[in-house]
Amino acid sequence: MIYELQIENFQLIKPLLAGYPVNPVIGGVIEGNNLGRIFVDHPKYPSSALVWAKNEMFYLIGNSDNELFNSSLESLIFCQIKSEALAIGDDCFNLELYPFSKWERIIPRIFTHSLSIGERVPFEFDYDRYINRKLEKKVLPDGYQCQNITEELIKIDINHVMKKEILKFWDSVDSFFNKGIGVVVTKEREIIGTCLSVFVSGSDFEIGINVYQTEHRGKGLATYMAERFLEICLEKGGRPHWTTENFRSDSIAIANKIGFRQLPNYRMFFLPF
């Protein structure tokens, strides 16, 4: 049996994460900062949970030997959640496991669909490396500007690029301004790229970065935005987080360049919806 928790009860699954490193994606959903849904085996005393952090990741957490919960997961995901996910552009079932070693062995029993195995690349922010890298002054190419995202900028963004990006992860622009961070690169008033806190848990900020058109890539814009984001995050007393896929070589290079320390890859599962 599976129950969906209401947002005011999301905190009930926090004990299932005891002993794990801070994950601002899961934490952002639990705290109600970011968009997501949580399903559990018991509405008051959960021992197993499925967390859907919208437009990012699914997580199986807790007791992996819960037959009643496990037997309902595939139907929940592919018969109920799938249609909502596709409607918002979340077109792939990406799954991480807590703890991986226990959930991994039963994944083939839970899903009749054959899930593929991928790898994620985690990073840890290293302040000393950041300071050393920061000494190398970066300059934007001619014609580009980098600014903090403000309400005024969003109002004059006629294509609503910034608003759409924010609302992939936040329930409102106001919520984003209350707890989030964002910078934007423009050229002649066109939105070229954004760097946002896509998930926030306490003082932990998960970074999401985009340069939208290929013609503007390879010019150092993403690196410039990421460095500006780090400045703002640290000024606020925050801890930046960066995780990406192993095939995103540009993302990996940027993280290493601006002061993150690369940690060992870890496995996850995925299947396009």
**pLDDT value of residue 136:** 72
- What does the pLDDT profile of the chain (273 residues) look like in tens digits? 899 999 999 999 999 999 999 999 999 999 999 999 999 999 999 999 999 999 999 999 999 999 999 999 999 999 999 999 999 999 999 999 999 999 999 999 999 999 999 999 999 999 999 998 876 767 899 999 999 999 999 999 999 999 999 999 999 999 999 999 999 999 998 999 999 999 999 999 999 999 999 999 999 999 999 999 999 999 999 999 999 999 999 999 999 999 999 999 999 999 999
User: Cα dist. 172→147, 179, 255 in Å?
Assistant: 21, 11, 28
Q: Which residues, including other chains, have CB under 8 Å from residue 140's CB and lie 6 or more apart?
A: 146, 185, 220, 221, 224
- Given CATH 3.40.640.10, say whether it is the number of domain 124-265: no
Q: What does the pLDDT read at residue 187? A: 95
Q: Confirm if 24 and 64 have CB atoms less than 8 A apart.
A: no
pLDDT at 135: 67
Architecture field, domain 3-114:
3-Layer(aba) Sandwich (3.40)
Domain residue ranges in the chain: 3-114, 124-265
Cα distances (angstroms) measured from residue 7 to each of 171, 218, 241? 12, 41, 24
How many CA atoms within 13 Å lie on the side-chain side of 221?
Answer: 28
Answer yes or no: same fold for 3-114 and 124-265: yes
DSSP string, the chain: --EEPPGGGGGGGGGGGTTSPP-HHHHHHHTTSS-EEEEESSSSS-SEEEEEETTTEEEEEE-S--HHHHHHHHHIIIIIIHHHHHHTT--EEEEEEETHHHHHTTHHHH-SS--EEEEEEEEEE-HHHHHHHHTS---PPTTEEEEE--HHHHHT-TT-HHHHHHTTT-S-HHHHHHH--EEEEEETTEEEEEEEEEEEETTEEEEEEEE-SGGGTTSSHHHHHHHHHHHHHHHTT-EEEEEEETT-HHHHHHHHHHTEEEPPPEEEEEEE-
